[in-house]
């Protein structure tokens, strides 16, 4: 691919899927800080699954398409679907208000389930494309990879501040990890 050529369909598909993952993680992160909604342990596991999918897409973008990369992305999607479906089933009884805020009258874990389904379908389609040359060093590809890496790092720091090095609270209301750091290191 020359410096100024349009990316292949497979390359563009991987980049757009990574943008979708960045959008999901960014909105979850925004909701956490703007609305003060700390993620529960199941929510954190769903973020990890999105990070797995995003990491597989980054590998495709930077190193070229490989079935193992798609495999890791599919495993991430399946794990995320199981975790989000578990959370849906925890709050499916009539009268149960669910956990956390809603967006368009659905909880984030329900949206996450649909997001995983869409990303799994997208990865299956990308696997079927004949020209799987997806390696890209364009400004756009480099930018989204850097944004993804920074977003993952910010989520890791946020989780450390929320949970510390122990298990996270089932219904978190404060950053317990920050308290642990302050008492341990005198911040």
Residue 1 has pLDDT above 50, yes or no: no
Which pLDDT score, from 0 to 100, does residue 84 have? Answer: 94
What's the pTM? Answer: 0.85
- Domains of the chain, by residue range, sit at 9-148
pLDDT per position as a tens digit, 91-127: 888 887 777 777 788 888 889 999 999 999 999 998 8
* Mean pLDDT estimate for the chain: 84
104 torsion bin: left (phi>0), alpha (psi -120 to 50), beta (else): left
Architecture of domain 9-148: Up-down Bundle (1.20)
The 10 Å CB-count burial string (b at 16+, else e) for 159-170 is bebbbbeeebee
């Amino acid at each position: 691919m020359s410096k100024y050529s349009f990316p292949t369909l497979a390359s563009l598909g991987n980049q757009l899927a990574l943008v979708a993952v960045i959008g999901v993680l960014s909105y979850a992160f925004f909701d956490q800080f703007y609305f003060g909604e700390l993620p529960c342990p199941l929510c954190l596991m769903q973020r990890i699954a999105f990070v797995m999918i995003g990491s597989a897409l980054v590998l495709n973008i930077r190193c070229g398409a490989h079935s193992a990369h798609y495999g890791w992305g599919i495993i991430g999607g399946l794990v995320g679907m199981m975790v989000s479906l578990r959370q849906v089933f925890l709050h499916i009884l009539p009268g149960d208000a669910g956990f956390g805020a809603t967006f368009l009258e659905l909880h984030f874990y329900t949206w996450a389930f649909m997001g995983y389904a869409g990303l799994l379908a997208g990865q299956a389609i990308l696997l079927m494309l004949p020209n799987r040359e997806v390696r890209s060093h364009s400004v756009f590809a480099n930018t989204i990879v850097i944004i993804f890496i920074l977003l993952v790092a910010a989520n890791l720091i946020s989780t450390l501040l929320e949970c510390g090095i122990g298990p996270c609270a089932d219904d978190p209301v404060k950053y317990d990890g920050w308290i642990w750091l302050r008492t341990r290191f005198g911040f």
